[in-house]
Amino acid sequence: MSPAVLAACLLAGVGTWALRVVPLLLARRRAEGAGERPGPLRPYVDGFLSAIAVASVAALLVSGLEPYLVRAAGEVGAGATGAALREVAALAAGLGATAGAYLWRRDVALGTVGGAAAYGLAAWLLGV
């Protein structure tokens, strides 16, 4: 890697830090002035920020599912319906096990590891 590209990565690291920390510091300053009269847009800004957590996790989940769905759709397009069904079955097993393991104990780690193990096993057994 050239020194210039290395410097670009270093600057991107500093930029990423600023992208995370500067808005956080501004939000803290705003929170400290909580007694001030809120502007008319404040409820909508609060609504946006309140929803961004669910929105980002939902978007990240879909982006994780997309390759599996695209692969299954490609197999259907190529006439390999059996392979697509096995792909979908393994995915359903993984998602079902993830949800089941999480809801059983309300434990994020258990849901993640249990779901991943179930998907790995199903994919191996089904030859995905």
Partner 1 sequence: MVFAGASQFVAVALVAGGAGPLVTFLSLLAMNVRHVFYGPSLTGRLGGRPVPGRPWLWGSFLTDEVFAASVAAVDRDPARVGDRWLLGLGLGAYLAWAGGTFVGVLGGSASARFPAVDAALGFMLTALFLTLLLALVDTARLGVAVVAGVVCLTGSLLSTTATGIPAGMVAGALYGASRARPGLAGAP
Q: Quick check: 58 binds partner 1 (CB under 8 A)? A: yes
Among 33, 37, 46, 71, binds partner 1 (CB under 8 A): 46
Tell the residue number behind the tokens 């089941």, with chain if given: 100
Q: Quick check: 74 binds partner 1 (CB under 8 A)? A: no
Task: Determine the Cα–Cα distance for residues 25 and 22; give it in Å rounded to an integer.
Answer: 5
Task: Determine the Cα–Cα distance for residues 103 and 115; give it in Å rounded to an integer.
Answer: 12
| Contacts of partner 1 in 78-107 (CB under 8 A) | 90, 94-95, 98-99, 102-103, 106
Q: Quick check: 60 binds partner 1 (CB under 8 A)? A: yes
Q: Quick check: 17 binds partner 1 (CB under 8 A)? A: yes
Q: Angle of helix 108-126 relative to helix 81-105, nearest 10 degrees?
A: 160
The total of other beta-carbon atoms located within 10 Å of residue 94's CB is: 22
Q: Quick check: 21 binds partner 1 (CB under 8 A)? A: yes
Among 35, 36, 37, 63, binds partner 1 (CB under 8 A): 63
